[in-house]
Amino acid sequence: FDAYLFFTPEAVPRNALLLDRAAQRRAEQPGCLHAGMDLYKWCYKLIPLTDSDLLLDCFELALSARELDMRASPYDLTAYGYSPVQIETATGRADYARAQSDIAARAAPLRARLLDRCHTLLRHPT
């Protein structure tokens, strides 16, 4: 949902769903790179109630997701050692989809760990 906030007014109606904060939980897609990056955001906000190992794992995932996000963007990052993902081609889109799926697979157990920690905190406030 957070990425949707940065859509230009012209781009908003091109989205399949018109999103708002109230519908965020229903519309959230775990495979979205930004949802993976949000794991780090929420884990960081919960420090010191979460452990540093989980925080590091979420940070490493967010770093991978941001790298893919930027490589698929219109920015030229070759001077920094990052080759572009050519999403304008069928091969590039397939490469992006594979990398996105890999990140989503890495995010799933982290999401479960963070959710488990939140449930524990709600049952036993510290």
pLDDT value at position 70? 96
Domain boundaries of the chain, sorted by first residue: 1-29, 31-123
Note the pLDDT of residue 8.
Answer: 77
Q: Using CA atoms of 32, 34, 36, 39 in order, give the dihedral in degrees to the nearest 10.
A: -140
Provide φ and ψ at 75, rounded to 5°: -80, 140
**Per-residue confidence (pLDDT) for residue 2, from 0 to 100:** 60
Give the helix/strand (H/E) hosting 53: helix 52-71
State the helix-helix crossing angle for 33-45 and 90-123, rounded to 10 degrees.
Answer: 30
Give me the mean pLDDT over the 70-90 stretch.
95
* Statement: residue 91 has pLDDT above 90: yes
Whether 84 shows a pLDDT value over 80: the answer reads: yes
Interval 6-51: pLDDT, tens: 667 787 777 777 777 776 667 677 778 989 999 999 999 999 999 9
The mean per-residue pLDDT over the stretch 98-103 comes to: 97
Tokens in use for 113? 């760990």
| pLDDT tens string 50-73 | 999 999 999 999 999 999 999 999
